[in-house]
């Protein structure tokens, strides 16, 4: 417990000093929010709600996916390559402790990103809704970010390719999942593809909550499916990477 908390604290301190995190992972969704709100207009109706609310959820999801898929993957790949992970394995910190610390760090950052996007939307576009709904959407986006943390771990195993792969997966998944352009505005084929994207299944329940509809279980099932897939592939590749001869 104590080693895990020590690592968690260290990781948060490192993120607080990470300029890349603030400009890209946190800055990009907020910049996009302002740009697309101004282009489309605040009071446009979409999927039973307002564009300013709908796109607030899109950008919170976009930020969380970026922090998990891109930032986490690059960091894990760097730590592996630098021998730091190997070094940590000689300390009383268990591999479970290491993983839990990483997940806690990720959850803390996700919470921060969601809150910042919500606050920006609340005060710039006067987004209002009952407190319960704020909390529901916050909790869904927060816990629903875990599959993407698993994907980040998976991409983190790609070594030198992690940076490029992470950025690519982050942007492609966000685009195909309808986080930039809403699926309602996409051609039929693209819309069909979107329904199979983890990003769409991550944001869709939150959009439903905005319109006062219940969360779809199909989305939860598909997200769970992706999580299991990411974890299994990561575990399989991880074992291969770890048994490679060292120099």
Partner 1 sequence: MTVVVEMEGVTKLFGQKRAVKNVSLKIVKGSAAALLGPNGAGKTTSIAMMLGLTHPTRGRVQLFGGDPSSPQQHVRLGVMLQGVSVPDRLSVLETINLFRGFYSHPLSLDRLLVASGLEGDARVMASKLSGGKMRRLQFALALAGDPEVLFLDEPTVGMDVTSRRKFWDELREFIAAGKTLLLTTHDLQEADMVADRVIVMNDGEIVADDAPERIKMEFAGRQISFVVQSDIDPQRFKMLPHVIEVKMAGRQITLRTTDSDTLLRTLILDQWDISDIQVTGGGLEDAFVRLTSEAGALI
Minimum Å gap between C-beta 67 and partner 1 is: 16
Nearest to 205 by CA among 187, 191, 223, 190: 223
Question: Which residues, in sequence order, are CB contacts of 194 under 8 Å at separation 6+?
Answer: 176, 177, 178, 183, 186, 200
**Phi and psi at residue 46, in whole multiples of 5°?**
-150, 135
**Around Cβ 218, how many Cβ atoms within 10 Å?**
12
Minimum Å gap between C-beta 232 and partner 1 is: 22
Residues touching partner 1, count (CB under 8 A): 29
Q: Give the span between the Cα atoms of 89 and 86, in whole angstroms.
A: 5
Question: Which residues, in sequence order, are CB contacts of 205 under 8 Å at separation 6+?
Answer: 140, 144, 215, 216, 219, 220
Minimum Å gap between C-beta 15 and partner 1 is: 8
Minimum Å gap between C-beta 116 and partner 1 is: 20
Asked if 84 interacts with partner 1 (CB under 8 A), we say: yes
Q: Give the span between the Cα atoms of 163 and 31, in whole angstroms.
A: 22
**Around Cβ 135, how many Cβ atoms within 10 Å?**
10
Beta-strand ranges (E) seen in 37-123 are: 45-46, 49-50
Site string for partner 1, 90-109 (x = CB under 8 A): xxxxx--x------------
Minimum Å gap between C-beta 234 and partner 1 is: 20
Stretch that binds partner 1, among 81-89, 118-126, 138-146, 188-196 (CB under 8 A): 81-89
Site string for partner 1, 30-69 (x = CB under 8 A): ----------------------------------------
Q: Give the span between the Cα atoms of 105 and 211, in whole angstroms.
A: 31
Minimum Å gap between C-beta 170 and partner 1 is: 21
Single out the residue of 87, 172, 224, 235 in contact with partner 1 (rule: CB under 8 A).
87
Looking only at residues 107 through 146 of this chain, which bind partner 1 when binding is defined by CB under 8 A?
Answer: none
Looking only at residues 187 through 246 of this chain, which bind partner 1 when binding is defined by CB under 8 A?
Answer: 243-246
Which residues make up the interface to partner 1 (CB under 8 A)? 2-3, 5-7, 9-10, 13-14, 17-18, 79, 82-84, 86-87, 89-94, 97, 243-247
């Amino acid at each position: 417990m104590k080693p895990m908390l020590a690592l968690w604290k260290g990781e948060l301190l490192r993120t607080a000093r990470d300029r890349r995190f603030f400009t890209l992972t946190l800055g990009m969704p907020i910049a996009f929010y302002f740009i697309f709100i101004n282009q489309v207009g605040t009071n446009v109706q979409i999927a039973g709600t307002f564009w300013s609310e709908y796109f607030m959820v899109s950008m919170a999801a976009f930020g969380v996916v970026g922090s998990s898929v891109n930032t986490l993957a690059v960091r894990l790949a760097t730590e592996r390559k630098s021998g730091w992970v190997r070094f940590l394995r000689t300390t009383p910190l268990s591999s479970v402790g290491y993983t839990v610390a990483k997940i806690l760090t990720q959850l803390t950052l996700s919470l921060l990103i969601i809150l910042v996007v919500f606050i920006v939307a609340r005060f710039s576009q006067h987004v209002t809704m009952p407190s319960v709904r704020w909390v529901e959407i916050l909790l869904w986006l927060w816990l629903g970010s875990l599959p993407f943390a698993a994907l980040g771990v998976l991409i983190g195993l790609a070594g030198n390719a992690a940076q490029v792969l992470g950025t690519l997966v982050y942007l492609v998944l966000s685009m195909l999942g309808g986080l930039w352009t809403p699926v309602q505005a996409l051609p039929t084929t693209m819309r069909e593809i979107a329904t199979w994207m983890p990003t769409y299944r991550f944001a869709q329940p939150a959009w439903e909550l905005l319109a006062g509809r219940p969360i779809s279980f199909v989305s939860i099932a598909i997200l769970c499916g992706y999580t299991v897939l990411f974890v299994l592939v990561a575990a399989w590749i991880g074992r291969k990477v770890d048994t490679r001869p060292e120099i």
